[in-house]
Chain A
Amino acid sequence: MSSDGLDLRIEDLTVVYGGVTALDNVNITVPPGGFVTVLGANGAGKTTLVRSITSLLYLHKGRVRRGDITLGGESILGKKSPDIVKAGVAQVPEGRKLFPNLTVKENLLCGAASRSDVDAIDDSLEQNLELFPQLRPLLNQTAGLLSGGEQQMVAVGRALMSDPALLICDELSLGLAPKIVHRLFELLTEINERRGTSILVIEQNASLALQHAADAYVLELGRVLIEGTADELRGNPMVQELYLGGGGEAHTSYAAIERPSRRPEAHGRRPPVSES
């Protein structure tokens, strides 16, 4: 049993921390059952976007100044985070954020905090172990001692324990071996296609995200710079230059575009930006 995907609409969203604007008039839509990715470098506002949807801004003294966020047509802005999880939003936080001193099983059970039907929770746990068979022998291990890849599986599994209508993954690929990241994205696609769960992936690894997502947005310094289908973005010279490590003739046209002064730095596993 699984919820059908719900559509997420972010409308004219402006978020500030103190006097600093982190998101400026952002519009993003995830259709029901859709697979959308938001690309951007560090500081683009990606994590603020996630915090806005999941109502965790208050922990960082941020607030929404303008705009609305709706899930399945209903506004979820201003709701408390437990109610948003109940409404169907689950997230895999940036850096996984497992509960390091809890066991794998306890971590997974925490993901079901919004539910009370014990049998249904057991079913979800079983589904998770079918999805990630590697986790079965690790159920009683302390989560903080697992490898990065295993931890990320627990993080995805934990999010799925709430039987979400919308799954948000923040920087799934960060710090993981490419092989594991590929496998995780395949699983996301599978969840998206089989269960109809809407998926929103926030990524720095643009090439991988654009392979799996249907629609994509590029966030730059708090604004949506480019939007379109994943195919359109793959063909966009600016995206190629900035996020796919492309070069060639894109350079000349790119140079003409007025762009934000802060270029994304080459980061970890992201293909380096060519400077030639």
Chain B
Amino acid sequence: MLLAFGNFTADPSVNLQLLIGGLALGAIYAVVALGFVLVYKSTDVLNLAHGEFLMLGAYFALTFLISENLNFFLGVFVLLLVMLVFGLLVHYGIMRRMVGQGFFAIVLITLGIATIIRALLLIFYGPTERARLDLLPQGSFEVGGATVRYVDLIIFGVVAACVLLFFLFFKYTRLGLHMRAVADDIEAAAAMGIDPDKVYAMTWAAAMVMAGVGGLLFGHVTGAIDRSIEAIGLRAFPAAVVGGLTSLGGSIVGGLVVGVIEQFANGHLGTKWREPVAFSVMFVVLLVRPTGLWGRKDVERV
């Protein structure tokens, strides 16, 4: 009965292909989820504009790497720098005034930011869709009957490097320590002389830079760059929730798991099943473990 939905196959090379595609897609979800979780964990804000942040990154990549035709590394540097400035702008211009306000008021503000970004991109870039980026090496190689694209491999490597960098930053730098302290207890952190305002600003900047990386990567694998790619934000949401909204490591694993599951649903059941299956996984995880696979309630003995 269920077989009627799609073409199940036990062919190992097909499944390997789906796995590889899933991991590449999952790596992008992971990088989106990472930025999302970073903001949620540090500032308690459910940022519904994160998909738009990523779209901003993709459009800026168009500007600096294609239109301005900057050297690749210089272009990436400028891109990330501009994203950082935008992150600071989001904090000092908007979010800072919202500290202490109700959770949903702030969620609505992020929806407002999303709308503004979409409008600005329409004004400055126009409605026409652009070709996807092609700055990373094209081509592919074969493994066990499956095709591995260089782009996917690079995406995977870049995401892994970002994750490692994040881990080292949080574990070994003073600012990283202060960010974790604010995430644990903002009032206690403020009482110790840590400035939550600065920590929040750095969080938004870091999330925006991550979105810049995500936009640059996603710009290479999306069909075309237009204002519909913000949907990646919504698609990465199950990844963040499955991993646990408070766990940076969990968001990575969540991203990979959801990416692979989506690809298998896509390959075996058909494209229309991608999102329903991804969200079903999210529901199941939430039913069994409300804090996500790796999310945790604070360790606290009372």
Measured CB to CB, the closest approach of chain B to A98, in angstroms, equals 7
Q: What's the count of A-B pairs with C-beta under 8 Å?
A: 87
State how many residues of chain B have any CB contact under 8 Å with chain A.
22
Knowing A81-B190, A101-B184, say if A109 contacts B195 (CB, 8 Å).
Answer: no
Q: Does B118 belong to the interface (CB within 8 Å)? A: no
Knowing A106-B177, A144-B298, say if A99 contacts B195 (CB, 8 Å).
Answer: no
Q: Does B192 belong to the interface (CB within 8 Å)? A: yes
Q: Does A162 belong to the interface (CB within 8 Å)? A: yes
Measured CB to CB, the closest approach of chain A to B15, in angstroms, equals 39
Interface residues of A in 98-115 (CB under 8 A from B): 98-102, 106, 109-111, 113-114
Knowing A99-B180, A145-B301, say if A113 contacts B188 (CB, 8 Å).
Answer: no
Residues of B within 8 A of A93 (CB): 187-188, 191
Residues of B within 8 A of A91 (CB): 191
- Alpha-carbon separation in the docked complex, A162 to B184 (Å): 20
Knowing A59-B100, A99-B180, say if A145 contacts B187 (CB, 8 Å).
Answer: no
Measured CB to CB, the closest approach of chain A to B77, in angstroms, equals 29
- Do A148 and B301 touch across chains, with their CB atoms under 8 A apart? yes
Residues of A within 8 A of B301 (CB): 144-148, 151
- Do A100 and B300 touch across chains, with their CB atoms under 8 A apart? yes
Q: Does B227 belong to the interface (CB within 8 Å)? A: no
Q: Does B189 belong to the interface (CB within 8 Å)? A: yes
Residue from B181, B193, B302 within 8 A of A102 (CB atoms): B181
Q: Does A97 belong to the interface (CB within 8 Å)? A: yes
Chain B residue with minimal CB distance to A55?
B190
- Do B100 and A102 touch across chains, with their CB atoms under 8 A apart? no
B87-124 near A? 1/0 per residue, CB < 8 Å: 00000000000001000000000000000000000000
Knowing A59-B187, A99-B185, say if A144 contacts B178 (CB, 8 Å).
Answer: no
Classify chain A: how many residues form its interface, as a range: 35 or more
Q: Does B186 belong to the interface (CB within 8 Å)? A: yes
Knowing A106-B177, A113-B178, say if A101 contacts B299 (CB, 8 Å).
Answer: yes
Q: Does B194 belong to the interface (CB within 8 Å)? A: yes
- Do A110 and B100 touch across chains, with their CB atoms under 8 A apart? no
Residues of A within 8 A of B300 (CB): 100, 144
Residues of A within 8 A of B195 (CB): 80-82
Residues of A within 8 A of B184 (CB): 99-102
Residue from B177, B178, B187 within 8 A of A97 (CB atoms): B187
Residues of B within 8 A of A111 (CB): 192
Chain B residue with minimal CB distance to A91?
B191
- Alpha-carbon separation in the docked complex, A60 to B180 (Å): 22
- Alpha-carbon separation in the docked complex, A59 to B193 (Å): 15
Residues of B within 8 A of A100 (CB): 184-185, 298-300
- Alpha-carbon separation in the docked complex, A114 to B195 (Å): 9
Most A C-beta atoms less than 10 A away, residue of B195, B298, B302: B195
- Alpha-carbon separation in the docked complex, A252 to B178 (Å): 55
Interface residues of B in 149-201 (CB under 8 A from A): 177-178, 180-181, 184-195
16 contacts between A and B (CB under 8 A): A56-B191, A59-B187, A59-B190, A82-B195, A85-B191, A97-B187, A100-B185, A100-B300, A106-B177, A111-B192, A113-B192, A142-B299, A144-B299, A145-B301, A158-B192, A162-B193
> Which 8 pairs, one residue from A and one from B, show the smallest C-beta to C-beta distance?
A85-B193, A144-B299, A114-B193, A97-B188, A99-B184, A113-B193, A113-B194, A81-B190
Residues of A within 8 A of B (CB): 54, 56, 58-59, 61, 80-82, 84-86, 91, 93, 97-102, 106, 109-111, 113-114, 142, 144-148, 151, 158, 162, 175
